[in-house]
Structure 1
């Protein structure tokens, strides 16, 4: 049986130093495993790593298009504790250099959402879900 967990999310970085600075500006802490050529950020749920795109291509055998113009087909999410935090988080992201692609607004399903792109066009959702339940670390366990 395959363990049903996601423990690490890795973003292939076109420009690792620039992308690293963005996440540092968000106030996210790096783990001790980070180095000049790889970095890992602590989150309440999974660890988020940034790895040079060419190295990821070498490791996986996949030929990625190294372009900042391509938007990922995967959306990462930051779930917050209340609807006001969606707006506050969007403001902080904008200040750090992220591009808001959907301004904070009420969602059809009863929550509040916004979307942004990091400097390399990785798509993130900021969401407040009124039915979300978090564990003691802040990781969402259900909604």
Structure 2
């Protein structure tokens, strides 16, 4: 008789982005207001407190090698992943988009009413990683900087 394994506790703890120029990317995320942690890593890797999962930055080629994936060709188009910056109001969405663009982000899509009753727009970081800036029904942003989902 086989012993049934207890499933591990699922958790998403770090989102690591492969970047072309870590110095530029560190400066960009600091300019957006994310708090850098573990600065002793220098420019080998960078970690930021986001109020939820940690955001990591790692040189693209080294991240690919670490995961045993090909570094080339790098996709120049959508990679099937977006990051989200949830907001409490439509005005906050507009302010975040303007702020990010002012810090060097590329505006991908201006803020607009969504078909699900929300309001969102998109910007891209220096490596083209897309961020949705959004206020959405059923998703509340708490004072703890975390999102709280309706049941």
TM-score (norm. length: structure 2): 0.86
Deviations 1:98-135 (A, max 9, x none): 01111011111111100111110101100001321345
Contact in 2 for aligned 1:102/1:115 (Cα 8 Å):
yes
Q: Which moved more, 1:133-142 or 1:10-19?
A: 133-142
Contact in 1 for aligned 2:86/2:141 (Cα 8 Å):
no
Structure-2 change in CA distance of 1:125 and 1:73 (3 Å): same
Shift of 1:88: 0.3
Structure 1: tracts of 5 or more residues without a match? none
Structure 2: tracts of 5 or more residues without a match? 1-6
Q: Which moved more, 1:61-70 or 1:50-59?
A: 61-70
Deviations 1:47-87 (A, max 9, x none): 00001112112211111336483433201100011111000
Out of 2, 5, 22, the residue aligned to residue 16 of structure 1 is 22
DSSP 3-state at the match of 1:10: strand
Question: Are 1:72 and 2:79 matched, yes or no?
Answer: yes
Contact in 2 for aligned 1:112/1:129 (Cα 8 Å):
yes
DSSP 3-state at the match of 1:65: coil
Counterpart position of 1:94: 101
Counterpart position of 1:130: 137
Q: Which moved more, 1:88-97 or 1:57-66?
A: 57-66
Question: Are 1:58 and 2:28 matched, yes or no?
Answer: no
Shift of 1:31: 0.5
TM-score (norm. length: structure 1): 0.90
DSSP 3-state at the match of 1:62: coil
